[in-house]
Amino acid sequence: MKGKSKTSIGRTSLVPVERIQKSIFLIRGHKVMLDNDLAGLYGVETKVLNQAVKRNIGRFPADFMFQLTAEEKKEVVTNCDHLAKLKFSPVLPYAFTEQGVAMLSSVLRSRRAIEINIAIMRVFVRLREILADNAALRKKLEEHDAQIKYIFNLIGQMMQEPEKPKKRIGFLTELEGHHRRK
């Protein structure tokens, strides 16, 4: 098929899926990709990507894109070796949500940008499916959790030896004997 990208398990013709996956971070409760990683995938400089975004800023509301704080940048750089070069950059990176990444395809119009966006969207969809599967599994485990605890409590009780009445040594006083007879 001439002109179409080939897809195989774990790889698109342009970039391995693993590279895309390691570029997705959870920041402020959103799955995002940083401008630096996106620029690398698109084959452009980060500055060029950000200039295109700024020329079309109306397409990128706060739920599509936001700038990291200095603390967020430090945390991302600390946790991701491939972002080490950002450590000494005075510029705070931009983070793009899934919708922001999709919007980039309308700003960066190259064939590569379109193909990379398709690959990224597929990874985001697959991540949502994995999270949904894990949520369903967690719910099933929680439903059975109470039953499992009950069974283990019963087994624990059955394994304990029954308490034998304690034999008292000595004499009963008249008062103690009176209470026992009742």
DSSP string covering 56-83, please? TGGG--TTTEEEPPHHHHHHHHHH-GGG
How many domains does one find in the chain? 1
| pLDDT, tens digit (0-9, with 9 covering 90-100), for 18-30 | 888 888 989 999 9
79 located within any domain: yes
DSSP 8-state class, residue 28: T
pTM above 0.75, yes or no: no
Higher pLDDT residue, 144 or 134?
134
Q: Is 48 within a domain?
A: yes
Q: What is the CATH number of the domain that holds 56?
A: 3.10.260
In terms of average pLDDT, the best of 38-42, 128-132, 145-149 is 38-42
Residue 168 lies in a domain: no
Domain residue limits at 65? 14-132
Is 68 inside any structural domain? yes
